[in-house]
Amino acid sequence: MTEFLFIFTNVIIPISIIVFIGYIVQLRFQLDRPTLAKLTINYIMPAFIFMSLYESDIDFSLLLNVIFLLGIFAVVTFVITRAIGKFMGLDKGQRVLFTNSNLFYNAGNYGVPVNDLVFKSDPFAMTVQVMLVVFQNMLAYSYGIFSLNSQNVGKLKALLGYFKMPIFYGLFFGLIFNFFNLSIPGPLESALDYMRDAMIGMVLFILGAQIAGIKFRRLRFSALVASLIRLVVGPAIAAVLLFLFNVEGVTAQVILITSAMPAAVNSSIIAQEYSDDPEYAAEIVMMSTLLSAVTVSAVIYIALNIF
């Protein structure tokens, strides 16, 4: 219990304070949330990803194994949540949102700060986290859009759109510079360091602002079920896969902790544009985020003690 309280006090509370500030500022000043999101996607996140990869000692075979494991995790999650949604009698549109809220978890705005605090800015741990962030972004903006907009002929365009995002180039060049041991000029490296250092505070503030913009009038039972699946069943599935694939150490800890993140705000944003019931996705995001203060602390404790 003492270790759990230590984790809650030193990881969850600092994160919650910044998220709460973003929430209050958004309610008070009504900031332009799309602009804040663009700031993260086009400015902070690409620099953060590039520098994290550039400065890390990367085992490329391990990273391929991580991506493979994440793919298996996504498939298992999809099958289980789709079956539960069907068993609960949800209509087709709600089943998609029910499933997507479990496929798309907040590996970036929430997961990155947690990683930074838990692993004390360990470059290797952050490299694994970056892979999770990139995988989640690719999944959300490819399958996430396809699943809600399958009747339209824009699938290839949506997929190719990811390769126009600066995040992709931060990943690509970070891996290239690391693999070939290339160096960058001192002034550019200093500039990128400053940009990277803005990551934690900004993404948590933006997360709070995004949550403040989520509007819903009720809480359906199935939304609560989806939240509990995301926060409890998701990590349980991840733990089983980690044992099956014999993944250990920091890599296993990062994957397990990130698998416990709440539903991503992206799932609500995508639903607002492509779904007839965006409020349902908002309910899941809000409820899973609130409950995660306890569940994420518990999963951190478990991850640090079993791997």
pLDDT tens for residues 250-296?
999 999 999 999 998 766 655 555 555 667 877 888 889 889 999 99
The residue ranking higher by pLDDT, 183 or 159, is 183
> What pLDDT, on the 0 to 100 scale, is given for residue 268?
61
If one counts the domains in the chain, the total is 1
The residue ranking higher by pLDDT, 88 or 160, is 88
Three-class SS of 54-121? HCCCCCHHHHHHHHHHHHHHHHHHHHHHHHHHHHCCCCHHHHHHHHHHHHCECCCCCHHHHHHHHCCC
Tell me which range, 12-21, 158-167, 282-291, is most confidently predicted by mean pLDDT.
12-21
pLDDT tens per residue across span 217-243: 677 889 899 999 999 999 999 999 999
Across all residues in the chain, what is the average pLDDT? 85
Q: What is the CATH number of the domain that holds 9?
A: 1.20.1530.20
- Nearest Cα neighbor of 206 from 254, 269, 294 is 269
> What pLDDT, on the 0 to 100 scale, is given for residue 152?
47
pLDDT tens per residue across span 138-153: 776 666 656 555 444 4
For residue 216, what pLDDT band results from cuts at 50, 70 and 90?
A: low
> What pLDDT, on the 0 to 100 scale, is given for residue 42?
83
pLDDT > 50? residue 137: yes
Nearest-angstrom CA–CA distance, 299 and 277: 31
**Secondary structure of the chain: what % helix, strand, coil (to 5)?**
80, 0, 20
> What pLDDT, on the 0 to 100 scale, is given for residue 243?
95
> What pLDDT, on the 0 to 100 scale, is given for residue 275?
55
Nearest-angstrom CA–CA distance, 130 and 111: 10
Output the CA angle 11-166-159, nearest 5 degrees: 100
pLDDT tens per residue across span 51-84: 988 888 777 788 788 889 999 999 999 999 999 9
Take residue 94 and report the two structure tokens written for it.
Answer: 């709600």
Give burial (CB, 10 Å; 0-12/13-18/19+) of 158. middle
State the average pLDDT over residues 183-197. 93
For residue 208, what pLDDT band results from cuts at 50, 70 and 90?
A: confident
- Buried/exposed 110-133: b ≥16 CB within 10 Å, e otherwise: bbbbbbbbbbeebebbbbbbbbbb
- Nearest Cα neighbor of 227 from 148, 296, 291, 135 is 291
Strand partners, 105: 263
> What pLDDT, on the 0 to 100 scale, is given for residue 131?
85
Nearest-angstrom CA–CA distance, 284 and 198: 29
For residue 156, what pLDDT band results from cuts at 50, 70 and 90?
A: low
196: Cβ contacts below 8 Å, ≥ 6 apart: 44, 47, 48, 51, 52
Output the CA angle 55-60-62, nearest 5 degrees: 110
Take residue 182 and report the two structure tokens written for it.
Answer: 């290339």
- The domain containing residue 50 runs over which residues? 2-306
Helix axes of 111-118 and 249-258: crossing angle, nearest 10 degrees: 140
For residue 32, what pLDDT band results from cuts at 50, 70 and 90?
A: confident
Nearest-angstrom CA–CA distance, 127 and 123: 6
pLDDT > 70? residue 154: no
State the average pLDDT over residues 26-37. 87
> What pLDDT, on the 0 to 100 scale, is given for residue 151?
42
| Cβ-contact 255, 69 below 8 angstroms | yes
Instruction: Please count the other Cβ atoms lying within 10 Å of the Cβ belonging to residue 139.
Output: 18
State the average pLDDT over residues 293-303. 94
> What pLDDT, on the 0 to 100 scale, is given for residue 25?
95
Measured in degrees and rounded to the nearest 5, phi and psi for residue 273 equal -95, -30
> What pLDDT, on the 0 to 100 scale, is given for residue 282?
78
